[in-house]
Amino acid sequence: MRHFLSLKDYEKSEILEILSLARDIKRDLKANKSTRPLAGKSLAMIFEKSSTRTRVSFEVGAAQLGMRPIFLSSRDIQLGRGEPMKDTARVISRMVDMVMIRTFAHSRLEEFAAYSSAPVINGLSDDFHPAQLMADYMTMRELGCGDRPIVAWVGDGNNMANSWLMLASKMGFELRVAAPKGYEIAQKWVELAKDFALKSGAKLYFYNDPIKAVQDANVVATDVWTSMGREEENEKRLKDFGGFGVTSELMSRADRKAILLHCLPAHRGEEITDEAFESHADSIFLEAENRLHAQKGVMVWLSDAQKRQS
């Protein structure tokens, strides 16, 4: 059974299929043409971390496709009181048709998927945020960044950075990652991405200097310096990330038409200045909206994949 845990498990052609579904779904929604391809089905949404965008976009997206979304906070379900992931998976997946999970260790998601009889979607783990990346890719295509853009990642080597690395190495575009020393992307993901790049032709560069990464880039992307679950490191990170904030000055080194992406929530005055944020608010909020459309593409694709297999 296919799950959607990381783009590392997806072929370029499959990512393009999802994107194409998402585009059609968005077009139909904007034209008020309602199609409910997943009518009568249900989606369990398990959250072990906070969320605004992921919760709303999956809940509304599932409903628009005809599914019944069920929001399950780990604070309320037995999982939060220590019921094992593998038991939770075997119970919930017998009752619903698809499961979205936001959790800590990526291995928790993999464990759930291994025991689940329904497709599982990653709604963010410590390692990856692939649903966000589908929206980011959709946004940069809509904004005319081309098939082979130069993307600069400025900031933490976190779940978002890992996900950009997977997307770039699968799709074959240029990614330049700038992270402070000690916060680089884990070597195992770099090695994996280099393998993928042999096939796709992606160019991958790693720096400790944001200016080098951003020079003439078509897309600049960033994210918070302290991800969920790492709050106790916040003070140290604020010091260690000095000079890594995205400012208008940094953006002026990118291509004249460069877009700025931020998965949100943003911490103004840390990874991004208010001025840089507000002058690129159009791309950032289009990116947020595209979560809805891109994830509907993912859900329809997974359901189709299941039908093909049965």
Catalytic residues: 102, 129, 132, 223, 263, 291
Length of the chain: 310
Query: Scanning residues 169 to 228, which ones bind ligand NVA (CB under 6 A)?
Result: 223-224, 227-228
Q: Is 124 in the site for ligand CP (CB under 6 A)?
A: yes
**Residue environment code for 7-29, b if the CB has 16+ CB neighbours within 10 A, otherwise e:** bbebebebbebbbebbbebbeeb
Compare residues 160 and 214 and give the one whose CB is closer to ligand NVA: 160
Enumerate the β-bridge partners of residue 99: 44, 120
Query: Scanning residues 256 to 285, which ones bind ligand CP (CB under 6 A)?
Result: 263-264
Q: Is 116 in the site for ligand CP (CB under 6 A)?
A: no
Could you write out the three-class secondary structure of 22-56? HHHHHHHHHCCCCCCCCCCCEEEEEECCCCCHHHH
Task: Provide, rounded to whole angstroms, the least separation between the CB of residue 206 and ligand CP.
Answer: 24
Q: Is 54 in the site for ligand CP (CB under 6 A)?
A: yes
Cα–Cα distances (Å) from 155 to 28, 224, 242, 260, 268, in that order, read: 36, 8, 10, 13, 14
Q: Is 100 in the site for ligand NVA (CB under 6 A)?
A: no
Interface region with ligand CP, contact rule CB under 6 A, candidates 46-54, 86-94, 239-247, 275-283: 46-54
- Tell which one of 44, 46, 51, 150 touches ligand CP (CB under 6 A): 51
Q: Is 139 in the site for ligand NVA (CB under 6 A)?
A: no
Interface region with ligand NVA, contact rule CB under 6 A, candidates 157-165, 166-174, 235-243, 250-258: 157-165
Q: Footprint of ligand NVA on this chain (CB under 6 A)?
A: 124, 158-160, 223-224, 227-228, 263
